[in-house]
């Protein structure tokens, strides 16, 4: 892949809902084929930031560029696989019908569609539940189905908002292995989390708190700068709980 | 392609949701059947037209409960009758007085017949009725539309067909898009390269296919099973019901943008649906203040009902309903455009 400019670049981005400022002066860049984690406590603005990256929302100030294009831009959406924080599934439909629907929206055709549906369902280990209605799925299964839908059209950029919430450790490990595999094939992954052990698996981390960017570094770099033994400690350090 | 995907998804959701399907198909039939059993005639002040030569009757009519208009010749009166300004027209012909009833409203027919009975059972004024002074005159009675045996349900049936289709499609389409918003699937849709207008068109197509079936079933049931009067073309009935469904669909999805949950969607019924029903011609509008009658002209159900009555009772064709078709189409297109605009709230592009 000849990635000259960063896959994702955020420049002095601010986002306000009415008078409420949710993001303030965020600047960061994500390179091609890396796994980039956005780490922050609940309510810190992670989801808001991801929606700006996904082009669903628009920044109040500053600029978001995805794959070299200023967002929001419709044509870029085809290249993004987005997994929302809440499972956006049609619960009265079967998993297969959900997948077919989204596959059609991304323009996947007949044979390719069937093949991709099989692939992604295998990846999230749901192939036996393909014809089950989604309202009979457990929370973790729904999460996995949402992930499968995000992977469906083989996008070069994945935006995953808390992808592994409610998924048991064994399966979480398997999913991380797959994500890393996608990384190697050139897929760029941006994900949010507030699970510290997951943050350690990212190539680089952005720490945010109350809508401000505290630091962007590798997990090791974060530890070192904070003089902390664990990411948890480092997080508290950056969050203002400095000794 | 993407529009088709949305339409297919909506159809599949219907197939999985048996209860909603039953609501759309069975409930209207149930209520129509009930109405068929319940409706009886009611009191009504008839509007009579008099040809100038019959003006002698005016004095006598004045003592009865009736509105009178005088016309200078028979042609003028016939025209007024056709346009629905009067319920009956009395004119003088060689054989004696002749009464023509407009005929499409059974309550009006009844009221006119009662008045006629009073009128002609009294002795004749000396100069009237071509000199036949002694024997009581028996006027010749005929109907412009409808028939003597027309029942109240024949009058209300066409309106109710339209109202039911409108009501159920409005509610179910509105709730569908609302759920899409509250469950986060709308946001998910907007994270795909789907255009806003494709969402709106997908809804129109998906519900459109479904409402074809609904319109077919309700119209067929009303006409064939309940035996509601049907003087015109079934295809026109279908066309109008479909257009009403389209208007209801687009209005429902539009208003769902202003509802936070299903209950708030239901709250639109007394605000949006019930007033339309009252102004649709189900009840005589002439007794209403003028501004309220005018307000009826802004409501889609009014145009649908009017067209359905023209087709089913008066057997009229395209020339009579074309304006209504255009207006209903206009409403739908307007609401569709507004829907696309309303989605801007969720994604600007
Ligand atoms: N549409 C909105 N309108 C108003 N406030 C919002 C909206 N979306 C999010 N917020 C606020 O923005 C802040 C950050 O939310 P969010 O991005 O969801 O945080 P996180 O994903 O890190 O938990 C919260 O205080 C939340 O209440
Ligand atoms: Mg969040």
Domain extents in chain B: 47-143, 152-346
Q: Is residue A230 part of a domain?
A: yes
Q: Is residue A84 part of a domain?
A: no
Q: How many domains does chain A have?
A: 1
A10: CA distance to ligand 1 center in Å? 19
Which atom of ligand 1 lies at the shortest distance from residue A46's CA? Answer: 22
User: Does position A2 have pLDDT exceeding 80, yes or no?
Assistant: no
Nearest CA, atom 4, ligand 1:
A17
Helix (H, G, I), strand (E, B) or coil at B194: coil
* Per-residue pLDDT tens digits for B243-287: 999 999 999 999 999 999 999 999 998 889 888 888 887 777 777
Query: Looking at domain B47-143, which of 3.40.1710.10, 3.40.50.2300, 3.40.50.150, 2.60.40.420 is its CATH number?
Result: 3.40.1710.10
Q: Is residue A88 part of a domain?
A: no
Asked if residue A144 lies in contact with residue A152, where contact means CB atoms within 8 angstroms, the answer is no
User: Does position B125 have pLDDT exceeding 60, yes or no?
Assistant: no
CA distance A105 to A102: 5
| Closest CA–CA distance from residue A82 to any residue of chain B (Å) | 7
Q: What is the pLDDT of residue A208?
A: 92
User: Does position A238 have pLDDT exceeding 80, yes or no?
Assistant: no
List all residues whose CB is within 6 A of at least one atom of ligand 1. Answer: A 17, 20, 22, 40, 42-48
Q: What is the pLDDT of residue A1?
A: 47
Whole-angstrom CA distances from A190 to A47, A202, A218, B314 are: 12, 9, 14, 67
User: Does position B41 have pLDDT exceeding 70, yes or no?
Assistant: no
User: Does position B134 have pLDDT exceeding 70, yes or no?
Assistant: no
Q: Is residue A13 part of a domain?
A: yes
Q: What is the pLDDT of residue B132?
A: 45
Q: What angle do CA A5, A7, A10 make, to 5 degrees?
A: 95
Q: What is the pLDDT of residue B99?
A: 86
Scan for tokens 């920044």, then name that residue: A59
User: Does position B149 have pLDDT exceeding 80, yes or no?
Assistant: no
Please indicate whether residue B229 or residue B134 has the higher confidence score (pLDDT): B229
Please report which residue ranges of chain B form alpha helices under DSSP H.
2-16, 18-38, 57-62, 74-82, 106-121, 152-182, 185-190, 196-220, 234-256, 262-266, 268, 274-278, 290-296, 300-312, 318-342
- CB nearest to B2's CB, from A58, A80, A104: A104
* Per-residue pLDDT tens digits for B183-199: 999 999 999 999 999 99
Q: What is the CATH number of the domain that holds A239?
A: 3.40.50.300
Q: What is the pLDDT of residue A51?
A: 95
Its ipTM equals: 0.91
Asked if residue A26 lies in contact with residue A78, where contact means CB atoms within 8 angstroms, the answer is no
What are the tokens at B231? 């003087």
Helix (H, G, I), strand (E, B) or coil at B193: coil
Contact A104 B5 (CB under 8 A): yes
Pick the residue of A69, A82, A86, A90 with the most B CBs within 10 A to test the interface with B by mutation: A90
Mean pLDDT of A95-122: 95
> Closest Cα to residue B308, out of B136, B165, B94, B185?
B165
Nearest CA, atom 6, ligand 1:
A17
Chain A residues with beta carbon closer than 8 angstroms to that of B347: 55-56, 72
Scan for tokens 């015109």, then name that residue: B232
- CB nearest to B349's CB, from A54, A72, A84: A72
* Per-residue pLDDT tens digits for B75-117: 888 888 888 888 888 888 887 888 888 888 777 887 888 888 7
Contact B9 A90 (CB under 8 A): yes
Chain B residues with beta carbon closer than 8 angstroms to that of A104: 1-2, 4-5, 8
Chain B residues with beta carbon closer than 8 angstroms to that of A87: 184
* Per-residue pLDDT tens digits for A19-42: 999 999 999 999 999 999 999 888
Tell me the pLDDT band of B43, cut-offs 50, 70 and 90: low
Chain B residues with beta carbon closer than 8 angstroms to that of A77: 191-193
- Prediction pTM value: 0.82
Q: Is residue A83 part of a domain?
A: no
Of all residues in chain B, the percent with pLDDT exceeding 70 is 93
Mean pLDDT of B44-53: 84
Phi, psi at B105, each rounded to 5°? -120, 110
Closest chain B residue by Cα to residue A103: B5
Tell me the pLDDT band of B40, cut-offs 50, 70 and 90: very low
Nearest CA, atom 14, ligand 1:
A45
Asked if residue A90 lies in contact with residue A97, where contact means CB atoms within 8 angstroms, the answer is yes
Pick the residue of B20, B176, B191 with the most A CBs within 10 A to test the interface with A by mutation: B191
- Is beta strand A61-66 parallel, antiparallel or unpaired with respect to A69-70? antiparallel
Asked if residue B254 lies in contact with residue B176, where contact means CB atoms within 8 angstroms, the answer is no
* Per-residue pLDDT tens digits for A128-181: 999 999 999 998 899 999 999 999 999 999 999 999 888 888 888 888 998 999
> Would you call the peptide bond into A72 cis, given omega within 30 degrees of 0 as the criterion?
yes
For chain A, give the secondary structure using H, E and C.
CCCCCCCEEEEEEEEEECCEEEEEEEEEEECCCCEEEEECCCCCCHHHHHHHHHCCCCCCEEEEEECCEECCCHHHHCCEEEECCCCCCCCCCEHHHHHHHHHHHCCCCHHHHHHHHHHHHHHCCCHHHCCCEHHHCCHHHHHHHHHHHHHCCCCCEEEEECCCCCCCHHHHHHHHHHHHHHHHCCCEEEEEECCHHHHCCCCEEEEEECCEEEEEECHHHHHHHHCCCCHHHHHHHHCCCCC
Domain that holds residue A204: 1-73+192-243
């Amino acid at each position: 892949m000849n990635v000259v400019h960063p896959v994702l670049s955020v420049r002095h981005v601010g986002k306000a809902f009415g008078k409420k400022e949710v993001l303030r002066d965020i600047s960061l860049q994500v390179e091609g084929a890396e796994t980039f984690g956005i780490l922050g406590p609940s309510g810190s603005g992670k989801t808001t930031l991801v929606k700006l990256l996904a082009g669903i929302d628009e920044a109040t100030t500053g600029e978001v560029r995805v794959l070299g294009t200023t967002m929001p831009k419709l044509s870029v959406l085809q290249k993004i696989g987005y997994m929302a924080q809440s499972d956006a599934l049609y619960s009265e439909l079967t998993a297969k019908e959900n997948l077919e629907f989204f596959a059609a929206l991304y323009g996947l055709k007949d044979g390719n569609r069937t093949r991709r549906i099989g692939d992604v369902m295998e990846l999230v280990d749901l192939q036996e539940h393909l014809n089950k209605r989604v309202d009979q799925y457990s929370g973790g299964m729904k999460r996995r189905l949402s992930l499968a839908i995000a992977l469906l059209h083989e996008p070069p950029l994945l935006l995953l908002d808390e992808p592994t919430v409610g998924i048991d450790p064994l399966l979480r490990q398997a999913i991380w292995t797959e994500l890393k595999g996608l990384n190697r094939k050139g897929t760029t992954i941006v994900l949010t989390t507030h699970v510290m052990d997951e943050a350690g698996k990212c190539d680089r981390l952005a720490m945010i708190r109350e809508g401000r960017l505290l630091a962007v570094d590798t997990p090791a770099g974060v530890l070192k700068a904070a003089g902390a033994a664990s990411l948890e400690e480092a997080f508290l350090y950056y969050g203002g709980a400095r000794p | 392609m993407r529009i088709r995907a949305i339409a297919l998804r909506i159809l599949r959701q219907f197939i999985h949701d048996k209860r909603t399907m039953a609501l759309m198909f069975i409930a209207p039939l149930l209520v129509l059947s009930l109405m068929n059993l319940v409706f009886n005639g009611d009191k009504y002040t008839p509007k009579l037209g008099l040809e100038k030569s019959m003006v002698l009757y005016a004095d006598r009519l004045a003592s009865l409960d009736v509105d009178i208009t005088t016309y200078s010749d028979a042609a003028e009166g016939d025209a007024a009758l056709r346009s629905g300004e009067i319920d009956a027209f009395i004119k003088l012909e060689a054989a004696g007085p002749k009464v023509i009833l407009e005929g499409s409203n059974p309550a009006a027919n009844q009221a006119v017949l009662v008045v006629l009975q009073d009128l002609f059972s009294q002795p004749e004024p000396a100069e009237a009725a071509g000199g036949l002074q002694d024997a009581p005159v028996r006027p010749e009675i005929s109907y412009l539309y409808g028939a003597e045996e027309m029942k109240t349900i024949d009058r209300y049936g066409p309106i109710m067909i339209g109202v039911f289709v409108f009501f159920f499609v409005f509610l179910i389409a509105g709730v569908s898009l609302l759920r899409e918003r509250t469950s986060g699937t709308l946001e998910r849709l907007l994270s795909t390269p789907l255009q806003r207008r494709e969402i709106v068109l997908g809804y129109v197509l998906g519900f459109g296919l479904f409402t074809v079936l609904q319109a077919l079933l309700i119209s067929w049931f009303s006409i064939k099973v309940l035996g509601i009067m049907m003087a015109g073309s079934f295809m026109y009935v279908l066309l109008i019901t479909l257009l009403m469904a389209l208007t209801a669909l687009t209005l429902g999805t539009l208003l769902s943008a202003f509802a936070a949950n299903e209950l708030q969607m239901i709250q639109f019924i007394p605000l949006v649906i019930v007033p339309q029903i009252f102004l649709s011609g189900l009840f005589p509008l002439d007794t209403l203040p003028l501004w309220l009658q005018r307000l009826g002209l802004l409501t889609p159900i009014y145009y649908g009902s009017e067209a359905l009555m023209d087709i089913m009772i008066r057997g009229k064709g395209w020339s009579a309903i074309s304006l209504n078709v255009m207006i209903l189409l206009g409403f739908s297109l307007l609401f569709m455009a507004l829907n696309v605009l309303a989605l801007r709230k969720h994604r600007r592009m």
